[in-house]
Chain A
Amino acid sequence: MSRYTRLFDRLARERRGALVPFAVLGYPTPARSLAWIEALLPHADALELGLPFSDPIADGPVIQTASHEALAAGARIDSGLATVSRLRAEHPELPIGLLVYANLVYQPGPERFYRQVEAAGADSVLIPDVPAEEAGPYVAAARQAGLAAVLIAPPNAPEATLALIAKLGSGYTYVVSRSGVTGTERGAGRPQARLFETLRALGAPPGLVGFGISSPADVRAALAQGADGVIVGSSLIEKSRDPARLESHLHALAQATLRTVD
Chain B
Amino acid sequence: MTIPTAPAPHPGRFGRWGGRYVPEILVPALDELDRAFRDARADPAFQAELAGLLRNFAGRPTPLTRCRNFLAGSGLEIYLKREDLLHGGAHKTNQVLAQMLLARRMGKTRVIAETGAGQHGVAVALAGALFRIPVRIYMGATDCARQAPNVFRMKLFGAEVISVTAGSATLKDAMNEALRDWAASYGDTHYLVGTVAGPHPFPTLVGEFQRIIGDEARVQFLEQTGGALPDRVVACIGGGSNALGIFRAFLEDPDVALVGVEAGGAGLASGRHGATISGGRPGILHGAETLILTDGEGQILESHSISAGLDYPGVGPEHVHLHETGRVHYELATDDEALSAFRQLARDEGIIPALESAHALAYCQRLARTRPAPARLLVNLSGRGDKDLAHVQAGLEENPP
Spell out A's residues near B (CB within 8 Å): 53-55, 57-60, 64, 68, 71, 76-77, 101-108, 128-134, 151-154, 156-158, 161, 165, 176, 179-181, 186
Please state if A161 and B167 are interface contacts (CB–CB under 8 Å).
no
Chain B residues lying within 8 Å of A132, measured Cβ to Cβ, are: 24
Interface contacts beyond A54-B299, A106-B283, A179-B184: sample of 18 additional A-B pairs, CB < 8 Å, sorted by A: A55-B167, A55-B172, A55-B173, A57-B22, A57-B23, A57-B180, A57-B286, A77-B298, A103-B284, A107-B283, A129-B21, A129-B284, A131-B21, A165-B24, A176-B25, A179-B186, A180-B180, A180-B183
Distance A55 CA – B22 CA, assembled complex (angstroms)? 12
Please state if A101 and B184 are interface contacts (CB–CB under 8 Å).
no
Please state if B285 and A55 are interface contacts (CB–CB under 8 Å).
yes
B367 at the binding interface (Cβ < 8 Å) = no
Chain A residues lying within 8 Å of B183, measured Cβ to Cβ, are: 57-58, 179-181
The dominant DSSP class at the A interface is loop
Distance A243 CA – B294 CA, assembled complex (angstroms)? 37
Known contacts A53-B299, A106-B283, A131-B23; A157 and B28 CB within 8 A of each other: yes
B345 at the binding interface (Cβ < 8 Å) = no
Contact of A133 (CB < 8 Å), options: B27, B172, B282, B286: B27
Distance A186 CA – B294 CA, assembled complex (angstroms)? 32
Measured CB to CB, the closest approach of chain A to B223, in angstroms, equals 46
The 9 closest A-B CB pairs, nearest first, are A180-B184, A104-B298, A107-B298, A154-B25, A103-B298, A131-B24, A102-B284, A54-B299, A54-B300
B292 at the binding interface (Cβ < 8 Å) = yes
Contact of B25 (CB < 8 Å), options: A55, A59, A156, A158: A156
Chain B residues lying within 8 Å of A165, measured Cβ to Cβ, are: 24
Please state if A161 and B297 are interface contacts (CB–CB under 8 Å).
no
Please state if B172 and A158 are interface contacts (CB–CB under 8 Å).
no
B296 at the binding interface (Cβ < 8 Å) = yes
Distance A127 CA – B299 CA, assembled complex (angstroms)? 15
Q: Pull 17 A–B residue pairs with CB atoms less than 8 Å apart, ordered by A.
A: A55-B167, A57-B22, A57-B23, A58-B183, A76-B297, A77-B297, A103-B298, A107-B294, A107-B297, A131-B24, A131-B26, A134-B21, A152-B24, A179-B184, A179-B186, A180-B25, A186-B184
Please state if A154 and B299 are interface contacts (CB–CB under 8 Å).
no
Please state if B299 and A58 are interface contacts (CB–CB under 8 Å).
no
Chain B residues lying within 8 Å of A181, measured Cβ to Cβ, are: 180, 183-184
Chain B residues lying within 8 Å of A102, measured Cβ to Cβ, are: 21, 284
Distance A15 CA – B28 CA, assembled complex (angstroms)? 35
Measured CB to CB, the closest approach of chain A to B66, in angstroms, equals 44
Contact of B176 (CB < 8 Å), options: A57, A133, A134: A57
Please state if B296 and A107 are interface contacts (CB–CB under 8 Å).
yes
Interface centre among A106, A130, A154 (most CB of B within 10 A): A106
Interface residues of B in 286-343 (CB under 8 A from A): 286-287, 289, 292, 294, 296-300
B239 at the binding interface (Cβ < 8 Å) = no
Please state if B22 and A131 are interface contacts (CB–CB under 8 Å).
yes
Chain A residues lying within 8 Å of B20, measured Cβ to Cβ, are: 131, 133-134
